[in-house]
Copies of this chain bind each other. A is one copy, B any other.
Amino acid sequence: MTAQVIDGTAVARQVREDVAKGVQELLAAGGTAPGLATVLIGDDPASEVYVRNKRKLCVAAGMQDLHRHLPGDVGQEEAAALIDELAADPAVSGILLQLPVPKHLDSEALLARIPAEKDVDGLTAANAGLLAQGRPGLRPCTPSGVMVLLDEAGVSLQGAEAVVVGRSVLVGKPMAQLLLERNATVTICHSRTRDLAEVCRRADVLVVAAGIPGLVGADAVKPGATVIDVGIHRGENGLHGDVDTAAVAEVAGSITPVPGGVGPMTIAMLLANTLEAAKVQQGRGD
């Protein structure tokens, strides 16, 4: 392997430490501790693990854990009422509805009730619009985590050719907006792209968020490029991403591993968003 490995675990730890410092500064300035309301509906074991991790790191950063749990057979109205209650509660800085919700519920309608200023996942249409228009707002956690990784790795974005593979609302589309905001020339690829490898080879910065294991091989990478792998898949030999890491690492200039790359950044940015939301709500925004 010749590529520099971008250590997401270390960067995420640093972000969480910075958030913890920010919480202390907020308290010292007479503010109150940010509160994160994770909302779990039902008993999906994977969702339980995700929520537990978020709550644990929230507490470790000095924030209030305002977790709420609803039974899996809860009705739409009752779930909506809980979101409304959290929206109105001044102790709640951020609301995170853990997805997926049980199939009988309308998750979009529930998300739409989260006020933009408490939408710490950055998933509402309101925050997507602010991002699209380049206006201040809470950004989706995974793509904003990628931006921090690129900055920490010293990657120059101004005028760079950036290629994003995948156009999900969660990652690909906001990722493209964030790269554009930093003056990259941005291309978005997807399943209908004619020659994916050819387009990817143009990239100085390649972000792969397609959800297909090993989609991007060495033939799709320009020598020296920075490759960010957002995918995570459980295979026979452990976790893998959307990138054939071993092969690509022989070509790329730097690369994120899976696990230990983008993954840890998502929760770190959730905490950073919760602190930012609390500061704005308490009249101490930047």
Contact = CB atoms under 8 A, between A and B. Distances in A.
A138 interface: no
A190 B199 contact: no
A204 B231 CA distance: 30
A190 B183 contact: yes
Kindly report how many copies of this chain are found in the complex they form together.
2
Contacts of A167: 180
Contacts of A193: 159, 185
Q: How large is the interface on A (under 10, 10 to 19, 20 to 34, 35 or more residues)?
A: 20 to 34
A96 interface: no
18 contacts: A125-B130, A125-B132, A125-B135, A126-B126, A127-B129, A128-B129, A128-B133, A129-B132, A132-B174, A132-B177, A134-B169, A159-B193, A161-B194, A173-B177, A173-B180, A183-B192, A185-B188, A187-B188
A125 B189 CA distance: 25
Given A125-B130, A158-B192, A180-B188, 8 more contacts: A124-B129, A128-B129, A128-B132, A161-B194, A173-B180, A183-B192, A185-B187, A187-B188
Interface of A: 124-135, 158-159, 161, 167, 169, 173-174, 176-177, 180, 183, 185-190, 192-194, 199
A220 to B, nearest CB: 14
A135 B126 CA distance: 12
Contact of A132 (B132, B159, B186, B189): B132
Question: Helix, strand, loop or mixed for chain A's interface?
Answer: mixed
A199 B162 CA distance: 12
Given A134-B169, A187-B185, A194 B159 contact: yes
B129 A130 contact: yes
Nearest to A170: B133
B199 A169 contact: no
A129 B134 CA distance: 11
A177 B159 CA distance: 21
Given A129-B129, A129-B132, A132-B129, A199 B180 contact: no
A198 to B, nearest CB: 10
Most buried by B among A159, A167, A188, A189: A188
B126 A173 contact: no
B190 A187 contact: no
